[in-house]
Structure formats: C-alpha cells, structure tokens
A and B are shown apart, each in its own frame.
Chain A
Amino acid sequence: AQSVTQLGSHVSVSEGALVLLRCNYSSSVPPYLFWYVQYPNQGLQLLLKYTTGATLVKGINGFEAEFKKSETSFHLTKPSAHMSDAAEYFCAVSEAGGGNKLTFGTGTQLKVEL
C-alpha cells in the first residue's frame, strides 16, 4: 500500500520569498511521484513528476522538486513566489508501472501575500 503525507495544510509566504511545500511518501516498491496544482473550481494540472533518472526534476512555472529516497521525500520548491502561485497543491504517488492509479496527499493551500 502507498500513502502520501503533506505537512502543513496551509502555507503562507510573501511575494518573492522561497516556497517550500513538504511531501513524504510511503511505498513498498519504487514510486513514481507527482505534484499537481489545483486552482479554485478547476481540475488538477501536473506541475512535475519523477519517474526514474535525475532526482531533481523541474516543472512548469519555475517549480522543482527533489526525490530523496533516504528521506522518502519529494518536497516542492520555488525560489521566488508570485501572487499567481496561490492555489492548492497536491503530492501524489503511484507504483512504477501501476497503471495510472494515483494516491494523493491531503493537499497544501499556498497563500502568497504582498
């Protein structure tokens, strides 16, 4: 069984500040890891994913995440927050070759303040 834990249901940062959203996972097999963003009343948009290879992955809108197997983590970062980054962020895990079945974390609401 797989699970995802997102620490902090709400994160608030100032515009221009570093964004750090935490995600830890549990998986008995090599995982595929994902970050999705959800804007109000919209579906989920893929930010980035890790499957194999380079552990630091870059996504859209300046976000990146690093897969750390020893820490079972996949934290999402962005050097400088923008007002448009305010949204709900979900970390998700699937088994490699697991046929697209995703297990989501509980989400982190990011607030960006002036």
Chain B
Amino acid sequence: GAVVSQHPSRVICKSGTSVKIECRSLDFQATTMFWYRQFPKQSLMLMATSNEGSKATYEQGVEKDKFLINHASLTLSTLTVTSAHPEDSSFYICSASAGGSGANVLTFGAGSRLTVL
C-alpha cells in the first residue's frame, strides 16, 4: 500500500535555529500534501495544504513566514520551522494524497516530534 515517510522522527534544537522536516511519498506521486500540528492530548490541527509546483495554502492563524512549506516534487514536501521557539515544540504530521477529491486516498506519515530548548 501507499507509504509516507517523515524525517526526522525526532529533533531537538536550540531556540532561534531553523528546523526542516521532510515528508516523502515512497511509492506514489502526491499531488497534494497536508501538514498538521498535534499538541499533547489534543487533536490534529491542519496547518497548510501543499500543492506540487505552487504556493502552499495556509490555514487561518498559521504564520506563513514561520512555517515555510516547499513542495518541489511529486514525492517530497518540506516544512521548515524558522527561528524556532519553545512554543513551536509539537508533533508535526504530514499526509499525502495521490489525487482525487476523496479523503479516502490520504496516507499519513509517522510524525516528527520537535522539541525547542
């Protein structure tokens, strides 16, 4: 079946540095990828929709300059947390869609846990 790989699974960084998280579709081409943020004991909050070859669409309240998304190919989307601060510590999850309008084709990555010291 479809597999989505996220890297790194865990990352610890110092405040003020930038961190890049990769989301790869391993055996299918993903025209659309979604980035979610999950706080402890809370639900997944959609941050942005990443479309290959075009600018990402951010949800209301998500800082575009803070969370840079690049979807340069049909198999890779990256999320860069710029000038990270402790409040950015969270679990970030991506999902990928092979196409179509039905959410039944979404495949989720295993998530990346970011800790900002």
A-to-B contact residues, CB < 8 Å: 9, 32, 34, 36, 41-46, 49, 51, 90, 92, 94, 97-107
Contact = CB atoms under 8 A, between A and B. Distances in A.
A99 B4 CA distance: 19
Contacts, number: 71
B12 to A, nearest CB: 15
B105 interface: yes
Interface of B: 4, 6, 9, 32, 34, 41-46, 49, 93, 95, 97, 101-106, 108-111, 113
Contact of A101 (B34, B104, B113): B34
A44 B2 CA distance: 13
23 contacts: A32-B102, A32-B104, A34-B104, A41-B9, A41-B110, A43-B109, A43-B110, A44-B108, A45-B108, A46-B104, A46-B106, A51-B104, A90-B44, A97-B101, A98-B101, A100-B95, A101-B103, A102-B103, A104-B45, A106-B42, A106-B43, A107-B42, A107-B43
A94 B45 CA distance: 13
Given A44-B95, A49-B104, 14 more contacts: A32-B102, A41-B110, A41-B113, A43-B6, A43-B111, A44-B93, A90-B43, A100-B34, A100-B102, A100-B103, A100-B106, A101-B34, A101-B46, A105-B43
